[in-house]
């Protein structure tokens, strides 16, 4: 990082800390949002917060964070961290297990959107009755799938394969989007429209959603920064229903939250999980 970018980054990180603290109290929240509703105030907050402000679309947030992203999703430290995080199930995984347990023995093919290096496969196979012949396909970014392939081959895993082609989801039994939908500008119903034979089951987990209009922010995990989209929950469910799906289960992933710095009232206090079936 060059010096000017590093300085600006330090300023943004401190501004984000201040906004987080001030926005956590009622008066501070009203002040931030009141000032932000005026056009001059919005411009000032936007300048102070830089890549940590809210954006209308994912690509705007991606452009703003690019110089500060530290490799984003494909940062090797991040890949190792996710693998470690998923060694044991997290609270929201248990809700997923509740819905997966019964259909699992009949599920032969799984498509895992944003499945990283296969960390959910390694975790779930310890908790669920996966078929010995199940084929679990991970869709992710190029460097991540290259690392995932190496790990799977070192571990002699035959049930796990990797792809960068969404069309591989055609005809699968189960579609998983865990902790990943927020990194796509299109919503899942929009992505599924391009697939002829849509999955019978859909598991969505650990996704921040909003009741507001769709918007984007940047998540700062310290070691990486990534742009993140918040889709409107009600529209998402209506769009799924139009595609012929019914929501049979919904839960909160309380282990995750997202603070919206310049609109604290839009902060997400728990991520969402959904279980859907094609009717």
Ligand X SMILES: C[S@@+](CC[C@H](N)C(=O)[O-])C[C@H]1O[C@@H](n2cnc3c(N)ncnc32)[C@H](O)[C@@H]1O
When binding is defined by CB under 6 A, the residue of 45, 99, 122, 183 that contacts ligand X is 183
What x/- string results for residues 53 through 92 when contact with ligand X is judged by CB under 6 A? --------------------x--------x---x------
Q: What is the distance between the alpha carbons of residues 214 and 123, in angstroms, rounded to a whole number?
A: 32
State the number of binding residues for ligand X (CB under 6 A).
18
Q: Which is nearer to ligand X, 20 or 82 (CB)?
A: 82
Q: Three-state SS for 124?
A: helix
Residue nearest to ligand X (CB): 114
When binding is defined by CB under 6 A, the residue of 9, 140, 220, 262 that contacts ligand X is 140
Q: Quick check: 138 and 83 in contact, CB under 8 A?
A: no
Q: Which is nearer to ligand X, 120 or 160 (CB)?
A: 120
Q: Which is nearer to ligand X, 226 or 237 (CB)?
A: 226
Q: Which is nearer to ligand X, 119 or 259 (CB)?
A: 119
**Residue 114 touches ligand X, criterion: CB under 6 A:** yes
Q: Quick check: 141 and 114 in contact, CB under 8 A?
A: no
**Residue 125 touches ligand X, criterion: CB under 6 A:** no
Q: What is the distance between the alpha carbons of residues 254 and 273, in angstroms, rounded to a whole number?
A: 10
Q: Which is nearer to ligand X, 32 or 95 (CB)?
A: 95
Q: Which is nearer to ligand X, 220 or 262 (CB)?
A: 220
Angle at CA of residue 68, ends 257 and 58, nearest 5°:
55
**Residue 178 touches ligand X, criterion: CB under 6 A:** yes
Q: What is the distance between the alpha carbons of residues 191 and 167, in angstroms, rounded to a whole number?
A: 10
Contacts of 164 (CB under 8 A, 6+ apart): 139, 140, 141, 142, 145
Q: Which is nearer to ligand X, 19 or 183 (CB)?
A: 183
Q: Quick check: 230 and 268 in contact, CB under 8 A?
A: yes
Comparing CA positions, the residue from 199, 133, 145 lying closest to residue 169 is: 199
Q: How far is the CB of 21 from ligand X (least distance, A)?
A: 26
Q: What is the distance between the alpha carbons of residues 145 and 140, in angstroms, rounded to a whole number?
A: 6
Q: How far is the CB of 10 from ligand X (least distance, A)?
A: 26
**Residue 180 touches ligand X, criterion: CB under 6 A:** yes
User: Quick one: which segment of 10-18, 59-67, 109-117, 215-223 binds ligand X (CB under 6 A)?
Assistant: 109-117
Q: How far is the CB of 86 from ligand X (least distance, A)?
A: 5
Contacts of 163 (CB under 8 A, 6+ apart): 137, 138, 139, 145
Q: How far is the CB of 115 from ligand X (least distance, A)?
A: 5
**Residue 273 touches ligand X, criterion: CB under 6 A:** no
Strand-by-strand arrangement of the 174-178 sheet:
160-163, 135-139, 109-113, 174-178, 201-207, 271-278, 245-253
**Residue 169 touches ligand X, criterion: CB under 6 A:** no
Comparing CA positions, the residue from 255, 247, 272 lying closest to residue 99 is: 247
- Which positions lie near ligand X, rule CB under 6 A? 73, 82, 86, 114-116, 119-120, 139-141, 144, 178-180, 183-184, 206
């Amino acid at each position: 990082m060059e010096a000017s970018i590093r300085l600006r980054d330090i300023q943004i990180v401190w501004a984000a800390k201040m906004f987080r603290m001030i926005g956590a109290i009622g008066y501070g929240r009203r002040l931030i949002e009141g000032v932000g509703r005026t056009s001059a105030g919005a411009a000032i907050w936007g300048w102070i917060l830089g890549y940590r402000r809210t954006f209308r679309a994912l690509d705007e947030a991606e452009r703003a964070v690019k110089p500060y992203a530290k490799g984003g999703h494909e940062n090797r430290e991040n890949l190792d961290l996710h693998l470690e995080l998923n060694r044991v199930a997290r609270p929201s995984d248990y809700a997923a297990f509740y819905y997966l347990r019964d259909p699992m023995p009949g599920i032969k093919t799984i498509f895992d959107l944003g499945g990283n290096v296969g960390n959910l496969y390694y975790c779930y196979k310890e908790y669920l009755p996966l078929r010995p012949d199940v084929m679990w396909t991970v869709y992710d970014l190029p460097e991540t799938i290259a690392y995932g392939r190496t790990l799977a081959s070192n571990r002699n895993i035959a049930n796990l394969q990797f792809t960068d082609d969404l069309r591989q989801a055609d005809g699968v039994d189960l579609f998983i989007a865990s902790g990943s939908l927020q990194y796509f500008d299109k919503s899942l119903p929009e992505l599924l429209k391009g697939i002829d034979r849509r999955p019978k089951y859909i598991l969505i987990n650990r996704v921040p959603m909003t009741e507001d209009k769709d918007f984007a922010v940047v998540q700062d995990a310290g070691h990486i920064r990534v742009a993140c989209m918040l889709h409107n929950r009600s529209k998402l469910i209506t769009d799924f229903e139009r595609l012929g799906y019914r929501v049979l289960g919904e839960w909160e992933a309380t282990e995750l939250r997202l603070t919206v710095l310049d609109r604290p009232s839009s902060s997400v206090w728990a991520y969402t999980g959904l279980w859907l079936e094609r009717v």
